[in-house]
Each structure stands twice: as C-alpha cells, then as structure tokens.
C-alpha cells in the first residue's frame, strides 16, 4: 500500500507534462444527487480513474481503452458509474451518489509501464449526517497582516463508532478568485484529544494577499465527510 501511494504521488508530479487537467480540486454535491468529475486529457492514450478513500486505500474505479472505445468498471460500481470519453474529455459520472463514493478521484493515462495522474478532485457529499459526529471551527473570521503566523483550529466531536484513529482531517482553501484547493493534511501529531473530542491545528504564515481566503476543516471518518463552517482570513495592511 505504501508503495502504491508513493507511486501515485510520484506520477502526480509529472501530470503537467502529460497534458492532464482536473479543473476542480474539490467538488460538493447533495447526497443522492448525480456527480460529474471532470478531466481533460491531450492525446489518444489509455485512461484510468482511481479513488483514494478516507481510509487512505487506493481503489480502481474505471479504465477506458481508446483503441476499442471500451470502458471497464469493478462489479460493485457497474450501473452507477460511467465515463464520458469524447475527444479530450474523460469525465467520470456517478448517477446517484452514496456515502461510499466519498474520496479523492485521480484521472490518469497509461504510457507503457507508467501511469501519470492528474492533481485529483475530492468529492464531498452534503446531506443528512449518518452519525452524530460534528466539526466546529472558531473563530469564523480573522484579520491578518503580512508576515503574520496564524493557527487555524477545528474540533471534531466523535459521538458514534468512529474514533480519532479512524479519522483523517484535511484543510481546504477557497480563494476569492480561484478554485478551492487542498492545502494541508493534518497528521496524528497535530491533534489533541480529550475524551471523545479532538482538536486539530494547522499553522501557516501569511506572506501576501494571495495567502488569504476561507479555510475549511474537513474530517473524513468511516465513509462520511463532515465539513466545518470555515474560517475567513481577511488580509489587511496597517497604514
């Protein structure tokens, strides 16, 4: 598994050279609604989709052979999953989303004995929570200045079967004029737990206005993704 993840990260570094584009780094849909995860690929190469689950497991999702215009899917995904392979488009379609669809999807091309992946698109589902777990971010907003260090914090309250050991936390940044992006994964050394509550911190330094935006804490546990309310960092320059 470690080797597979290392291979994925290695191949992602070459994505720009392979003509692979995944426009959205984060995509949010309502539970039960359809979803289309976009990918654009230059050239007529064999193509694949993989999903990195919240448990850090890498799963095969789809493959498409350009020569025969034929797609293949795992048995448990047939009927709900399809691909729109038209020219440079290689979009993954989910007819009806369920909690099992949560994860980060990587579009890739196969070249000889190597696979090159795009930067990934994280699928977040909104809807009625399966559990009573919750994510709280404070404060909702904060003014920052150039050169200032900021500690973002979110609290994850585990009320059901999922514990901190089965929870992964990432931070999303939504700039005002560009798409959302994943900026940090919180490790076990960045959390403090007391009872059923765990506090995660993300430290960053503000260098310019480009570092400002709204930061969301996202907790993935036991197939469910919970989104915090966000903390907006407002860039200001003292006169």
CA-based nearest residue to 173, from 133, 236, 122, 101: 122
Left, alpha or beta for 28 (phi > 0: left; psi -120 to 50: alpha)?
A: beta
Q: What is the pLDDT along the chain (239 residues), one digit of tens a residue?
A: 333 333 443 444 333 435 889 988 888 888 889 999 999 988 767 889 999 876 667 889 999 887 656 789 999 999 899 998 888 889 999 999 988 888 889 998 887 777 888 888 888 877 645 555 678 888 888 888 888 888 899 998 875 556 677 788 888 887 766 666 778 888 777 888 888 888 999 988 887 878 888 898 888 766 667 778 889 888 766 54
pTM over the 0.85 mark: no
How many residues does the structure list for the chain?
239
Tokens of 218: 């996202």
Given a contact cutoff of 8 angstroms between Cβ atoms, the answer to whether 36 and 42 are in contact is no
CA-based nearest residue to 172, from 224, 231, 235: 231
């Amino acid at each position: 598994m470690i080797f597979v993840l290392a291979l994925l990260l290695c191949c992602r570094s070459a994505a720009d050279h392979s003509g692979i584009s995944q426009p959205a780094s984060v995509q949010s849909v309502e539970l039960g609604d359809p979803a289309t995860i976009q990918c654009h690929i230059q050239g007529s190469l064999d193509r694949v989709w993989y999903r990195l689950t919240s448990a850090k497991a890498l799963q095969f999702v789809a493959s498409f052979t350009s020569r025969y215009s034929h797609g293949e899917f795992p048995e448990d995904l047939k009927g709900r999953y399809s691909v729109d392979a038209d020219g440079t488009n290689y979009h993954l379609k989910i007819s009806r989303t369920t909690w099992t669809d949560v994860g980060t999807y990587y579009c890739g091309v196969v070249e000889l004995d190597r696979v090159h992946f795009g930067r990934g698109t994280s699928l977040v589902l909104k809807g009625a929570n399966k559990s009573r777990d919750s994510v709280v971010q404070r404060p909702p907003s904060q003014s920052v200045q150039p050169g200032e260090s900021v500690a973002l914090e979110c609290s994850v309250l585990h009320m059901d079967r999922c514990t901190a050991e089965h929870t992964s936390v990432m931070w999303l940044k939504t700039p005002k004029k560009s798409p959302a992006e994943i900026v940090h994964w919180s490790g076990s050394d960045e959390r403090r737990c007391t009872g059923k509550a765990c506090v995660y911190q993300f430290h960053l330094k503000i260098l310019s206005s480009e570092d400002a935006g709204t930061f969301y804490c996202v907790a993935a546990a036991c197939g469910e993704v919970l989104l915090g309310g966000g903390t907006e960092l407002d860039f200001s320059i003292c006169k």
